[in-house]
Amino acid sequence: MHIGIPKETAAGESRVAATPETVKKLVGAGHRVTVERGAGEAASVPDAAYVAAGASSGSAAEALGAELVLKVRAPSIAEIALIPRGSAVVGMLNPFDAENNARMAAAGVIGFALEAAPRTTRAQSMDVLSSQANIAGYKAVMLAANLYQRFMPMLMTAAGTVKAARLVVLGAGVAGLQAIATAKRLGAVIEASDVRPAVREQIESLGAKFIDVPFETDEEREIAKGVGGYARPMPAAWLARQSQLVHTRLTQADIVISTALIPGRAAPTLIAEDTVKAMKPGSVIIDLAAGRGANGGGNCPLSVADEVVKVHGVTIAGYTNLAGMVAADASALYARNVLDFLKLVIDKEGKLVIDTNDDIVSACLMCRDGQVLRAA
């Protein structure tokens, strides 16, 4: 099979869908691989490394003209025009982008959205959301340390003692847990909040304190269990209690890492403007949900996508692609996720086989034969 790896064209995207490591395995399995010239440059992978792994360098048209196209982000209008009818695209295609999904279907493209893979043990090795969120959680803390104008750890010096930074993490999914682990290594004092009580043990095992919002009804307890590893929207009464408790903690914090996202929905507002006003001057908020909340904000309505702003004396960073800031490792992990998924859709003869009885394949299959198979 001819497999193409084009250079990503989305603004600010530095990752690449295959590395020399995965290309070598694809070539070893008998496939012909074409990598667009410069595709890996931003991820510190020169063209020569791909050629050494057995790939050929080509143009965007040659990479996109393959039978199977591996991408990080969904193809643009211009890219879709270069993909032949009947070819397949594997990548983070955003199942909730109905407009682009319809565009791919109309072009006769077979689309596999890896973000839609079920949260099961079998699908773990191809869980792109987790691999990239892990990196985002790490990078969020490193960015916070850079923007925060004081030390992270407690220091005892000849000039006196410097207190450790107080850090609050909102949302203890993969990104939140990695943020806790990274901040702990840097010596911060950490508290964390999440609607799911099951993560309390994980938070505490990493050395952070769990901000506990008690449940008052059976409905709250049931919703808090989440679904598929993700949080569900909580009742208004519980959110009000959480908001008050979190407000108190945030006014005492130096750094806030906010990671709360609900698939297919606007990101919940966790840090109100009144809270920002009450925070200490010089505090830092890293909002991983920036651009995905109501009115373009994030978990904080004051966040601006891909910008660092200062509001009420608080620095708010709204970078939307933190994983892309660690492009080399992000690409390496993503490429392995993709390679494991390909084992499910390529048979021993090297042909594309779509087994809709496979729960992972059917969950990821977004469009085929001119039809959108997943409703946004």
**Catalytically annotated residue among 14, 73, 103, 127:** 127
Give the relative orientation of helices 128-147 and 327-345 as an angle to the nearest 10 degrees: 170
Active site residue 119: yes
**Catalytically annotated residue among 14, 73, 103, 130:** 130
Question: For residues 81 and 346, is the Cβ–Cβ distance under 8 A?
Answer: no
Which amino acid, residue 231? A
Active site residue 254: no
Active site residue 244: no
Question: For residues 6 and 40, is the Cβ–Cβ distance under 8 A?
Answer: no
**Catalytically annotated residue among 125, 202, 230, 232:** 230
Structural tokens at position 276: 């920002």
DSSP states of 269-280 = P-S-HHHHHHSP
Query: Which of 105, 99, 171 lies closest to 133 in space, CA to CA?
Result: 171
* Edge-to-edge order in the sheet of strand 56-58: 56-58, 32-36, 2-5, 68-73, 88-92, 110-113, 365-368, 371-372
Q: What are phi and psi of 282, to 5 degrees?
A: 90, -5
Structural tokens at position 74: 């969904």
**Catalytically annotated residue among 44, 124, 149, 205:** 124
Give the relative orientation of helices 128-147 and 174-185 as an angle to the nearest 10 degrees: 40
DSSP assigned state of 234: P
Size (the chain), residues: 376
Question: For residues 318 and 285, is the Cβ–Cβ distance under 8 A?
Answer: no
Where on the phi/psi map is residue 15: left (φ > 0), alpha (ψ -120 to 50), or beta? Answer: beta
**Catalytically annotated residue among 119, 150, 185, 221:** 119
Active site residue 230: yes
Residue with tokens 């590893």: 229
Active site residue 130: yes
DSSP assigned state of 148: S
Question: For residues 250 and 271, is the Cβ–Cβ distance under 8 A?
Answer: yes
Q: Which residues are catalytic?
A: 119, 124, 127, 130, 230
